Amino acid sequence: QVQLVESGGGLVQAGGSLRLACAASGGTFRMSAMGWFRQVPEKEREIVAAIRWGDGSTFYANSVNGRFTISRDSAKNTVYLQINSLKPEDTAIYYCAARTGLSTQYNYWGQGTQVTVSS
C-alpha cells in the first residue's frame, strides 16, 4: 500500500505561483511513476503532469506545458508541482497519484488539495 498526502494548495491571484507537494509513504519502493491530476465540478479528472520515478522523465498536458513543472525528490519520496503564471481556469482540486509495479493505471490516490485562482 502507498499513502499519498498532498499539500501546498490555496488561494492565489492570477499570475502568481504555487508549489504543490505530494509525500508518499508505505510501499514506495514499488512506485514506477507519479502524476498530478486536476478536477473541476462536472468535468472529468485530467492529468496535467507525470514523472517516471526511475529516470525522472516527464510528461505534460498540452494545456499546461511551459507553466507547470513536475519534479521529484527520491530521498524524500516526494513529488512536486510548480505552477507559474496561474490562470483562473487552473482553479481545481489537484490530486497526486502513483503507479506501482507494472500497472498501467494510477492505483493510489491522495485526498486532493484545492487551488483557487482569483482574477
What's the pLDDT tens digit per position in 25-50? 998 788 899 999 999 989 999 999 99
Q: Determine the average pLDDT of the residues in 7-13.
A: 96
| Average pLDDT of the residues of the chain | 94
Query: What pLDDT, in 10s, does the model give residues 72-94?
Result: 999 999 999 999 999 999 999 99
- Which amino acid, residue 48? V
Question: What percentage of the chain reaches a pLDDT higher than 70?
Answer: 100
pLDDT of residue 102 exceeding 90: no
Spell out where 1-119 has E strands. Answer: 2-7, 10-13, 18-26, 31-39, 46-52, 58-60, 68-73, 78-83, 92-100, 108-109, 113-118
Cα(32)–Cα(104) distance, integer angstroms? 10
pLDDT of residue 1 exceeding 90: no
* β-strand pairing of 10-13 with 68-73: unpaired
The pLDDT confidence band at residue 112, using thresholds 50, 70 and 90, is: very high
pLDDT score of 28: 78
Phi/psi zone of residue 13: left (φ > 0), alpha (ψ -120 to 50 degrees), beta?
Answer: beta
